[in-house]
Structure 1
Amino acid sequence: MQQVDFLVIGTGIAGLTYAYKMAHQFPDKKILVLTKAAADETNTKYAQGGVAVVNDLERDSFEKHIEDTLIAGDGLCNKKIVEIVVTEGPERINELIALGTNFDKEADGDYKRGKEGGHSEFRILHHKDITGWEMERALLEAVASCSNIELIKHCFVIDLITQHHLGYLVTKATPDIECYGVYVLNLRTNEIETILAKTTYLASGGNGQVYRTTTNPGIATGDGVAMVYRAKGRIENMEFIQFHPTALFEAGLTGQAFLITEAVRGDGGILRNKDGEAFMEQYDERKDLAPRDIVARAIDSEMKRTGTEHVWLDCRHFELEKFLEHFPNIYEKCKSIGIDITQQMIPVSPAAHYSCGGIKVNEWGQTSIRNLYAVGECSSTGLHGANRLASNSLLEAMVFAHRCFEHVSAKALNKELNDHHYEGHIPEWNARGTMQPKEMILITQSLKELRQVMSDYVGIVRNNIRLERASKRLDLLWEETEQLYRSSKVSPQLLELRNLITIGYLIVKGAIFRKESRGLNYNTDYPEKSVLVQNVVL
């Protein structure tokens, strides 16, 4: 049983930013950072387009960025949170630059700024088409320089430890649910360890792997959200799953699809249907730069209307030198599968991309469970509302990582982070009566079925019959998987399946409760927005 002051779960921008700041603030304290894969295998790493920030007040303004975010969020953003993120963002970006992050610059030394769907100004800072990778690189180097940070790779967090593990009945109505730490499956030793912490910080990322195709890496299985839900914490707005309009279409591909960043359309890329028509003007006056929910639905509509599996992104009119400068990896990926972007259009189709809902937190990143914080895609801060504005997520992660750092630091300095009274009573993980699963196909087939159900019934366009069918299928999958979980030794595959089924359940339940079409939740049985605007809290 290990004890630490500050426990961090996840090594994306949200986790590393917080860990680095805590390490400098408390050089005599140990910060333990856990990740279930390699340190750099995160959603952050795959963020291509950039980070939205107002750092040129002569050409742009906080008011414009705030308004753009509110419009995209379709009436469900928390305006106070939007103002916090937009106004505190520039300082957080400057800190990242000071750590060595390189954003592309013009010949005169000013930053190159891109424009993406839903933005009224050019404000997207980027590093070629691998912005997230560059930010991740700088933060990993910074964290490596801190001797009081221990980063352990290949550690899968199974569950949060609360009063439930001390024998108390814990329900959603239980006041002051408290997090004492986590149970962790060490994938190197295959042993389950108990880690106790005065504060636990969840930066566990997204859940795109619940769908058949996603821009997210294989690790994006919604682990943090599922753990908090099992611990009776508050989850909200899970029905708002953003589908990126333009993932590279490769016939027969399932799992992670290659992302064609929205910045390509920001630079002038044009969406065309199978007949070569530029169709976006029929759906929105902003054409190819409409917000993502509108573009994704338009593409979905064109694919269904024409009976095709994809549409086309036309970049043939681009100056090759400029395309290579801004999008070298997209060029190389297309070339690797036989597409010359100067002569051929790029086949694209929507893929699950980002979860706008998640663990409900306040303006300091506090969850409904004491001593537990959540930041990044696993959290729901109120910034994104019903639809995330492009390139706002990296900014949100940095701003809230800093706000968590401030809040936890203040509590630590005021000696409000006391040792838990129950340490001697917290049981070790009980694996009695379990055995190795005899057939891995029980897990792989259930995962395949889950993704099929979610993609076919709970995608870009929904209706009540599809949602009801999805709900029944998920209930059966849950029962089968829980039975397997109770009788089997835990494995990463089983844990991820269990978490993804919970994520699917939360998305479906949220969509059933939201009897309207708003933002990313488009239901053909309720095509209009409801007068009563509210969050769906589960």
Structure 2
Amino acid sequence: MSWETAADVLVVGSGVAGLTAALRAHERGLRVLLVSKGTATDGNTSWAQGGVAVVTPEVAGGDSVSRHVRDTLDAGAGLCSKEAVRTVLGDGADAVARLREAGARFDGDGDALLRTREGGHSAFRVIHAGGDATGAEVQRALGAAAEGSIAVLERHCVVELLHGESGAVAGALVLDPEGRPGVVHAPAVLLATGGLGQLYSATTNPDVATGDGVALALRAGASVADLEFVQFHPTVLYAPEGRSGRRPLVTEAVRGEGAVLVDADGRRVMEGEHPLADLAPRDVVSATITERLAASGQECVYLDATGLGGNFAHRFPTVYAACREAGVDPVSEPIPVTSAAHYSCGGVVSSVDGRTAVSGLYVAGEVARTGLHGANRLASNSLLEGLVVGSRAADAVTRDLRCGVVVRTAAVADPVPATAVVDRDLLQRTMSRYAGIGRTAEGLAAASAELDGAGVVRPLRTHRAVEDSALALTAQALLAAAAARTESRGCHRRPDFPETDRSWQDSVVLRLDVSGWLIRTGPEEREKAA
């Protein structure tokens, strides 16, 4: 290996969960090293236009944590862990208070924070910063707090997790910006790598969201669950030229302020489709849009926010700028929108303290499946989860190290591994065609066969190869989970199984066997993983 370094805890990822965990671990006296594929401020968090859904002590109007819990359970369509939901949401007020102490500035005057309502919420409980730039403000505040106190390896890429002789995680194999391999020795590794939006041609996620954490955890022996539940944001700025990659989203808060979805003929899209109409949960809105477009042959619907008048630019400056760049004036004309991959409700199976079934391995944020989201994430619960679980995971690492549950052992560094990679454009087109909002057994089988046939085994000596390998494994895991779930529930829609089946009120849990094949776990193994 070209280089080596060591830490008490290696944090992989520089979004809200990663930075929160790193700062908390540093406060607890641990030596922290953070690895980021980009800079210390890159990640999904900066792009989050939605806010933080939280009930704080000063909230009036009848809202409560129990009401927030009920809304979250309703959105999760029977697959949430009630204990996880209560724990994360119950810790929310303290987590936001710590974030504000770190310098985050939210809209409002002092404790009188401005609040809005988003899809699936029964109350005005979502706080924002800069109108529609909450993620950017959260990232700024956490990044500023970490500067000078947290050691960061920027533009480094984790290839695989390393184990000690006992089988526990003992560090990671990492590529530096020039592709030189090195080893980080650490008795605890905390994955906060974000989502997997780059599985699809159209996504709200940045280029770095390539499912790295899911692949790393699977190869380290951890289990994943609920990967079939990919949330598609219903209102992403439509690109008529059909280009792939990240697309600007139009925050749900625009509908919370009164905007409505209409088709090309001006007819309301959500009228009669759900009691909450345009503020229905995202899976309902996205599916309805998809069905309307399929029936009409049109390529997009429209979000009519003209009723907001001149206040639009002030209230939603990020959306306004994106619209104007695309040649649309949202003050005077409806915004052309469509759906795009947005958020993974599933991930690496963990507790709300970030612990996985693999000793020394912890997860937090979008890469984790804590049981908070179930089959469909309630809007603006994600930033809150990153804050809460990131902090709890750091506390868990501290306790486990001090109690001897996790111990430092020498990492066994193998040569740079070789695994199957798939051409990214082919993979994205395949997943978009067969594993988008509507999935069928025939399509999922075709996608799996196509990716299998396109796989080429290559050594992971470049950042691109590492990402493409992660995408390939994560895609196959998602396809396997989607094929196994023969019903429609939450974000997962099966036209060949259109009804929700009560017998499926359980998660699809997958892991790699000793031969590297994805297998489903039985009830006993699911309980152990949880």
TM-score under structure 1 length normalisation: 0.90
> In the alignment, is the contact (CA less than 8 A) between 1:22 and 1:405 conserved in 2?
yes
Q: Specify every segment of 5 or more residues in structure 1 that has no aligned partner in the other structure, as ranges.
A: 167-175, 435-441
User: Superposed, which structure 2 residues align to 1:348-367 within 5 Å?
Assistant: 348-367=337-356
- Counterpart Cα distance in 1 of 2:416 and 2:321: 50
Aligned counterpart in structure 2 of residue 247 of structure 1, from 227, 236, 245? 236
- Counterpart Cα distance in 2 of 1:84 and 1:267: 30
Whichever residue aligns with residue 521 of structure 1, its letter is H
Deviations 1:186-232 (A, max 9, x none): 01x32100111011110011000000100000000000101111222
- Counterpart Cα distance in 2 of 1:326 and 1:109: 20
> In the alignment, is the contact (CA less than 8 A) between 2:162 and 2:413 conserved in 1?
no
> In the alignment, is the contact (CA less than 8 A) between 1:334 and 1:340 conserved in 2?
yes
- Counterpart Cα distance in 2 of 1:524 and 1:195: 47
Aligned counterpart in structure 2 of residue 534 of structure 1, from 497, 506, 510? 506
Partner residue, 1:267: 257
> In the alignment, is the contact (CA less than 8 A) between 2:189 and 2:362 conserved in 1?
yes
- Counterpart Cα distance in 2 of 1:528 and 1:402: 39
Deviations 1:402-458 (A, max 9, x none): 2112222223333544321x44xx235358xx9xxxxxxx98x82111111100111
For residue 285 of structure 1, report the CA deviation from its aligned partner.
Answer: 2.1
Q: Does 1:296 align with 2:303?
A: no
Q: Does 1:31 align with 2:3?
A: no
Partner residue, 2:44: 43
Whichever residue aligns with residue 30 of structure 1, its letter is R
> In the alignment, is the contact (CA less than 8 A) between 1:248 and 1:348 conserved in 2?
yes
- Counterpart Cα distance in 1 of 2:127 and 2:293: 32
Deviations 1:103-137 (A, max 9, x none): 0005x861100100000000000011110000000
Aligned counterpart in structure 1 of residue 187 of structure 2, from 186, 198, 202? 198
Partner residue, 1:419: 408
User: Superposed, which structure 2 residues align to 1:159-178 within 5 Å?
Assistant: 159-162=160-163, 177-178=167-168
Secondary structure of the residue that 2:509 maps to in structure 1?
coil
- Counterpart Cα distance in 2 of 1:110 and 1:66: 23
Partner residue, 1:406: 395
Aligned counterpart in structure 1 of residue 451 of structure 2, from 450, 465, 474? 474
Change (3 A) 1:71 1:333: same
Secondary structure of the residue that 2:55 maps to in structure 1?
coil
- Counterpart Cα distance in 2 of 1:101 and 1:319: 29
Secondary structure of the residue that 2:136 maps to in structure 1?
helix
Partner residue, 1:506: 477
Q: Does 1:236 align with 2:202?
A: no
Partner residue, 2:157: 156
For residue 309 of structure 1, report the CA deviation from its aligned partner.
Answer: 1.2
Whichever residue aligns with residue 502 of structure 2, its letter is V
Q: Does 1:16 align with 2:6?
A: no
Partner residue, 2:144: 141
- Counterpart Cα distance in 2 of 1:494 and 1:412: 34
- Counterpart Cα distance in 2 of 1:361 and 1:338: 44
Q: Does 1:339 align with 2:306?
A: no
For residue 145 of structure 1, report the CA deviation from its aligned partner.
Answer: 3.9
Partner residue, 1:458: 435
Secondary structure of the residue that 1:34 maps to in structure 2?
strand
Deviations 1:47-73 (A, max 9, x none): 101010001443211111000000000
Change (3 A) 1:430 1:138: closer
Whichever residue aligns with residue 156 of structure 2, its letter is C
- Counterpart Cα distance in 1 of 2:98 and 2:228: 34
Q: Does 1:522 align with 2:493?
A: yes
Partner residue, 2:376: 387
Deviations 1:460-497 (A, max 9, x none): 0111111111111121133x2xx2x14xx621111111
Q: Specify every segment of 5 or more residues in structure 2 that has no aligned partner in the other structure, as ranges.
A: 511-530
Secondary structure of the residue that 1:116 maps to in structure 2?
coil
Percent of aligned pairs with the same amino acid: 38
- Counterpart Cα distance in 2 of 1:375 and 1:153: 20
Secondary structure of the residue that 2:424 maps to in structure 1?
helix
- Counterpart Cα distance in 1 of 2:288 and 2:173: 44
User: Superposed, which structure 2 residues align to 1:110-149 within 5 Å?
Assistant: 110-127=112-129, 128-146=131-149, 149=150
Partner residue, 2:295: 305
Secondary structure of the residue that 2:151 maps to in structure 1?
strand
> In the alignment, is the contact (CA less than 8 A) between 1:364 and 1:407 conserved in 2?
yes
Secondary structure of the residue that 2:8 maps to in structure 1?
strand
Tell which deviates more after alignment, 489-498 or 95-104.
489-498
- Counterpart Cα distance in 2 of 1:361 and 1:303: 38
- Counterpart Cα distance in 1 of 2:92 and 2:162: 33
Partner residue, 1:490: 461
Whichever residue aligns with residue 121 of structure 1, its letter is A
- Counterpart Cα distance in 2 of 1:207 and 1:404: 21
> In the alignment, is the contact (CA less than 8 A) between 1:228 and 1:234 conserved in 2?
yes
Q: Does 1:213 align with 2:202?
A: yes
Whichever residue aligns with residue 394 of structure 2, its letter is F
- Counterpart Cα distance in 1 of 2:327 and 2:18: 38
> In the alignment, is the contact (CA less than 8 A) between 1:65 and 1:86 conserved in 2?
yes
For residue 24 of structure 1, report the CA deviation from its aligned partner.
Answer: 1.8
Aligned counterpart in structure 1 of residue 101 of structure 2, from 98, 102, 112? 98
For residue 316 of structure 1, report the CA deviation from its aligned partner.
Answer: 1.0
Q: Does 1:278 align with 2:264?
A: no
Deviations 1:489-516 (A, max 9, x none): 6211111111111111111100111111
- Counterpart Cα distance in 2 of 1:430 and 1:467: 32
- Counterpart Cα distance in 2 of 1:501 and 1:416: 34
- Counterpart Cα distance in 1 of 2:199 and 2:267: 33
For residue 281 of structure 1, report the CA deviation from its aligned partner.
Answer: 1.1
For residue 177 of structure 1, report the CA deviation from its aligned partner.
Answer: 4.3
For residue 30 of structure 1, report the CA deviation from its aligned partner.
Answer: 2.2
For residue 296 of structure 1, report the CA deviation from its aligned partner.
Answer: 0.1
Partner residue, 2:516: none
- Counterpart Cα distance in 2 of 1:110 and 1:427: 53
> In the alignment, is the contact (CA less than 8 A) between 2:194 and 2:213 conserved in 1?
yes
